[in-house]
Structure 1
Amino acid sequence: MTWTGHNFSRRAALATTSGLAVGALLPPGTAGAAAAGAAATYTNPVIWQDFADIDIIRVENTYYCSASTMHYSPGAPVLRSYDLVNWEIAGHAVPVLDFGAKYDLSGGRGYVRGIWASSLAYRPAEGTFYWLGQIDFARTHLYTARSVEGPWSRHATLPQVYYDAGMLVDDDNTLYVAYGNGTISVAQLSADGRSQMRAQQVFSTPSSIGTLEGSRFYKINGSYYIFLTRPANGQYILRSTSGPFGPYTLRQVLLDLPGPISGGGVPHQGGLVRTQSGAWYYMAFIDAYPGGRMPALAPVTWTSDGWPVVQLVNGAWGRSYPGPVVPPPPRQVTPLTGADTFDGTVLKPRWEWNHNPDNGKWTVNNGLTLRTATVTDDLYWARNTLTHRIQGPTSTATVQLDHSAMRDGDRAGLALLRNSSAWIGLKRDGGATRVVMVDGLTMDGNWNTTGTGIERASASVPGGRLWLRANADIRPGASRPGTFSYSTDGVTFTRLGPAFAMGNDWRFFMGYRFALFNHATRALGGSIRVTRFELSTP
């Protein structure tokens, strides 16, 4: 595998994997062997894209984190970094959401279901990555891979519901899971991870606190720690010096802490990781709608009696800190922005479908072909809508496509997709093609469609090639505008339609995404070909 280092010795792995027996060599906050030198100052959020419910680990000299994806497929992205600041999407731990027909947009829809807060771990004794998460509050699924790029496969399905679980690989290779909402429990899994051996409640949240969830489970210097969040403004930690089943003592880590995104929320629900030199960091997310939940990074020190303390700047989570001291990276990570010409024959991991795709209706072969897969007038029911996260604070998506193979009744284009959506694209009717701007695509609080779109502006388009552009300002605030334009030459763009005010209600959880779509309203058979997608920032 590439860069994951699973062939290094078990002893080295145990010494260098955060989220496992991380206190084996160095006490918290102790400087270790000299690294290559301090990196430059970094700015928060370290990732201005929607990656929430972070679990973070280190394996040798590489950092990995996972995130929630709800109804998007493939699910559970795994990101990789060599310095905790610059990240790339390496793969997805859940290749397909095969948890019921609703995830195929068949007979139902899986919006705001699917991949919730989950856990990423590494088991050095076998050189294997583990992903664990519950689906639909019904069962817990465990996936494994030798490399984060995959292939990932389902290792086990357990009947227990480990809500917002955090997984720990202890220094004797035993698997534990901390989980729960309000009531926090710990389970011990069998050696092969396929069954539960024991489960015990270890904590009940006092009513004065409210709710605690989002477990992250660590063993540090012989003590067991369960990191917990109080949504969406606090972080607490449980500590046991008597083993994984407690008893545990509670301490507040942060509450109502000002965050580094203007208008955004309190950093919370993340994980701890230790660098090669022994320094500690906390990576959390910030509610920053309409864009979603953005990861931020802060250094952590430890009290003399073994409790973590987030390092603040003027009483707040810092907008910037000195960069982590880490060895030189083996290569530069792949940027989260830039152009994709759909070279090769597979999609890059930056892409996720809205629900599972119909794999017979799309291909990548030095260009992306989207054939109509659904007859509907409702984009929220249309299969094979391909999404890309928006880069904050503002960014622009530009897509070049050939629409010459569209058929009457087809609708194709570039959307700002969420529970209130808008798009610029093409309508083919009566043998004529127009470029249109549409808004008024809406869902209610149960994620049922309440509006299928209102055409706000249109223009005729010659030929079969067109460039579409959407600009998104996802800074939390009053206006949150999305604007649309088009071009027939890729150079001069013409604004089309009014600005679209992106919604900022948190209850859809996922932030807005750019989305490529092509669906029929009359009959299947049409297609578009996308030759370039570019995500750019000012």
Structure 2
Amino acid sequence: MKTASSYIIPADFPDPDIIRVDDVYYMVSTTMHFMPGCVILRSYNLVDWEHASYVYDELEATPAETLCDNRGAYGKGMWAACLRYHNQKFHVSFSAKDTRRTYLFTSEKIEGPWHRSEIKGFYHDMSILFDDDGRVYCVSGNTDIVLTEFEADLSGPKENECRKIIIRDEKENMTLGYEGSHIYKINGKYYIFLIHIPKGKMRTEACYVADKIEGPYTGGDVLCSDLANWNSGTAQGGIVQAENKSWYSIVFQDHGALGRIPVLMPVKFIDNHPVFGDGGSAPKEVSVPDNRPDYKYKPLYSDDFTNPAWQWNHIPNKNLFAISKDRYTLRTDKICRNVVQASNTLTQRTFTEKCSGSVSVDFSKLNDGDIAGLCALEGEYGFIGIARENGRCKLIAAEHKIPYTPWTMDVFDDDLPVIQNEMEISGTTLRLKAVFCLEHEKENVRFSYYDAESEHYVDFGEPVKLRYTLDQFTGVRFALFCYSTKKTGGEAGFENFSMSLG
């Protein structure tokens, strides 16, 4: 058995769904507007994970998903996917809020190639069950949880199928009604796991059980538990059975600006009802069987620009960049007001509560009005970068605070960043650094530049306060960017990125 922290991945991997195929576990997670998208991780013990696949390179080349509209698909794109293995094929399905379509990707191998199709209709937080009799069902919805029978090929609902509400939350008593469905058939009974936020409580896991797929379902809350004093519930995710017949669940916890991070805990079935963790509380540690104890996992973060740890912010224009292991070069082709409108921004998740990243920026080919640099990317972002004006370059530190509540969705950012600090610089390259502290109630990023004369990094500007907001709905990321405010065609190069933990 392997014993480890229940915080299995200290990074933004929300909405987990998990399966086991032979001795291998696979977990899918939400990637929103980042490309390539719909990440799948692999493990042999549920604790250590590595990248296995992206399901697609790009979802839909719309004006929003390409950022051509300067608004983007922030907080949209793919989320809360369902992962299944049936008839020797992997199935991944999800609905995208911006396109209002439901997608199905299938593959014989987890690495792909993935075949794309669509499921007729729109199914919020969907979960699919391949029943023993060959019939296929979908559970989805918010507040009202709906059962839909699909055609066997998953092309859509069966002809004349009526979507039936099988579970209903009490709207007047909820901050967030039931959603995040996960359906399973275990020992002949149907289990539906959900999350909601009752008024006055944190995110809470619920479970309903029935003898028949159509119900009636009985149940209620099974887990309302904080972890590490974040005052944030551990909930929403899948369950999986290990080879030794033990059950485990991976849910997530809101962890401030770091994002929504996965939490592993055991599940026991007592009188056909699930008991999570330590008698209904999230544990600090968990013990699991290790199917391949000598296996060496590849990290989920990387200095190599070609590593799958890196994703673009929205669909990139492949004609405007060049990429190798240690250099990323991009050219602008539109006018922007800020970094969230910039195309071809290359990003990577922050990892652990304390991490840092540094990169050398080649600004020799910037045009007047261009800005290029290193950003702590989220709704309330900060960055350090080089701006060119009137033929001269200056180092700037800037930030942006949203003008609406942190719970606001379906908005776009057209504000100019607020410059905190600036100074004129010479030369053509400069190394920049971002140091993150993402501990509870201390969430901030501190920017600095490397001073060749003193051979030390020098802090530049005040630390930028960070927080998780729903306009982008993701944890803060390292982001390498370049955008034009006056004339297109400027170019920036980024070399030798280096990430450190702790």
2:63 equivalent to 1:101: yes
Structure 1 counterpart of 2:128: 167
Structure 2 counterpart of 1:485: 448
Q: Secondary structure at the match of 1:387?
A: strand
Structure 1 counterpart of 2:322: 363
Structure 2 counterpart of 1:8: none
Contact 1:132 1:165 in 2 (8 A): yes
Structure 1 counterpart of 2:109: 147
CA deviation after TM superposition for structure 1 residue 528, in Å: 1.9
Quote the Cα distance in structure 2 between the aligned partners of 1:227 and 1:368.
43
Q: Give the aligned residue type for 1:164.
A: D
Q: Give the aligned residue type for 2:393.
A: T
Decide which of 510, 516, 532 is 2:480's aligned counterpart.
516
Quote the Cα distance in structure 2 between the aligned partners of 1:318 and 1:128.
31
Q: Secondary structure at the match of 2:65?
A: helix
2:232 equivalent to 1:265: yes
1:8-157 aligned at under 5 Å gives the runs 38-39=1-2, 41-98=3-60, 100-107=62-69, 108-123=71-86, 125-136=87-98, 138-157=100-119
Contact 1:235 1:269 in 2 (8 A): yes
Decide which of 162, 174, 182 is 2:143's aligned counterpart.
182
Q: Secondary structure at the match of 1:482?
A: strand
Structure 2 counterpart of 1:464: 428
Give unpaired runs (5+ residues) of structure 1. 1-37
Decide which of 326, 336, 348 is 1:376's aligned counterpart.
336
Q: Give the aligned residue type for 1:112.
A: G
Structure 2 counterpart of 1:233: 203
Contact 2:335 2:484 in 1 (8 A): yes
Decide which of 279, 282, 304 is 2:246's aligned counterpart.
279
Quote the Cα distance in structure 2 between the aligned partners of 1:258 and 1:280.
21
Q: Give the aligned residue type for 2:208.
A: L
CA deviation after TM superposition for structure 1 residue 507, in Å: 5.9
Which stretch has the larger CA shift, 193-202 or 51-60? Answer: 193-202
Contact 2:411 2:471 in 1 (8 A): no
Structure 2 counterpart of 1:223: 189
Quote the Cα distance in structure 1 between the aligned partners of 2:94 and 2:400.
37
Quote the Cα distance in structure 1 between the aligned partners of 2:455 and 2:182.
49
- CA separation of 1:454 and 1:205: change in aligned 2, threshold 3 A: closer
- CA separation of 1:319 and 1:135: change in aligned 2, threshold 3 A: same
Q: Secondary structure at the match of 2:416?
A: strand
- CA separation of 1:122 and 1:91: change in aligned 2, threshold 3 A: same
Structure 1 counterpart of 2:499: 535
Deviations 1:30-71 (A, max 9, x none): xxxxxxxx11x2113211111111111111111111222222
Structure 2 counterpart of 1:193: 154
Decide which of 371, 386, 390 is 1:426's aligned counterpart.
386
Structure 1 counterpart of 2:313: 354
CA deviation after TM superposition for structure 1 residue 72, in Å: 2.2
Quote the Cα distance in structure 1 between the aligned partners of 2:445 and 2:90.
42
Deviations 1:424-474 (A, max 9, x none): 111122332222211236464453326311222233444333221101112
Structure 2 counterpart of 1:212: 178
Contact 2:362 2:429 in 1 (8 A): yes
Decide which of 398, 401, 417 is 2:377's aligned counterpart.
417
Quote the Cα distance in structure 2 between the aligned partners of 1:152 and 1:532.
32
Q: Give the aligned residue type for 1:474.
A: L
Quote the Cα distance in structure 2 between the aligned partners of 1:264 and 1:96.
36
Quote the Cα distance in structure 1 between the aligned partners of 2:451 and 2:365.
17
Quote the Cα distance in structure 2 between the aligned partners of 1:241 and 1:93.
34
Contact 1:137 1:161 in 2 (8 A): no
Q: Secondary structure at the match of 2:30?
A: coil
Q: Give the aligned residue type for 1:534.
A: S
Q: Secondary structure at the match of 1:519?
A: strand
- CA separation of 1:529 and 1:171: change in aligned 2, threshold 3 A: farther
Quote the Cα distance in structure 2 between the aligned partners of 1:207 and 1:264.
23
Decide which of 253, 259, 262 is 2:222's aligned counterpart.
253
Q: Secondary structure at the match of 2:365?
A: coil
CA deviation after TM superposition for structure 1 residue 95, in Å: 2.5
CA deviation after TM superposition for structure 1 residue 293, in Å: 0.8
Which stretch has the larger CA shift, 438-447 or 282-291? Answer: 438-447
Aligned pair count reads 486
Which stretch has the larger CA shift, 110-119 or 292-301? Answer: 110-119
Contact 2:81 2:92 in 1 (8 A): no
Q: Secondary structure at the match of 1:188?
A: strand
Quote the Cα distance in structure 1 between the aligned partners of 2:110 and 2:484.
36
Deviations 1:243-279 (A, max 9, x none): x222222232112x122x3324110111111111111
TM-score, scaled relative to structure 2: 0.90
- CA separation of 1:485 and 1:290: change in aligned 2, threshold 3 A: same
Structure 1 counterpart of 2:285: 320
Which stretch has the larger CA shift, 420-429 or 67-76? Answer: 67-76
Contact 1:133 1:142 in 2 (8 A): no
Quote the Cα distance in structure 2 between the aligned partners of 1:183 and 1:390.
35
Q: Give the root-mean-square deviation of aligned CA atoms.
A: 2.3
Deviations 1:484-537 (A, max 9, x none): 011155962111111111134456431211111011122222222222222211
Contact 1:264 1:476 in 2 (8 A): no
Quote the Cα distance in structure 2 between the aligned partners of 1:449 and 1:82.
42
Q: Give the aligned residue type for 2:138.
A: V
Q: Give the aligned residue type for 1:49.
A: A
Contact 2:107 2:113 in 1 (8 A): yes
Quote the Cα distance in structure 2 between the aligned partners of 1:200 and 1:384.
43
Which stretch has the larger CA shift, 199-208 or 173-182? Answer: 199-208
Contact 2:79 2:94 in 1 (8 A): no
Q: Secondary structure at the match of 1:268?
A: strand
Q: Secondary structure at the match of 1:360?
A: helix
Q: Secondary structure at the match of 1:219?
A: strand
Contact 1:283 1:298 in 2 (8 A): yes
Which stretch has the larger CA shift, 95-104 or 512-521? Answer: 95-104
Q: Secondary structure at the match of 1:102?
A: coil
Quote the Cα distance in structure 2 between the aligned partners of 1:144 and 1:491.
52
Give unpaired runs (5+ residues) of structure 2. none
Contact 1:442 1:452 in 2 (8 A): no
Quote the Cα distance in structure 2 between the aligned partners of 1:463 and 1:219.
65
Quote the Cα distance in structure 2 between the aligned partners of 1:447 and 1:379.
16
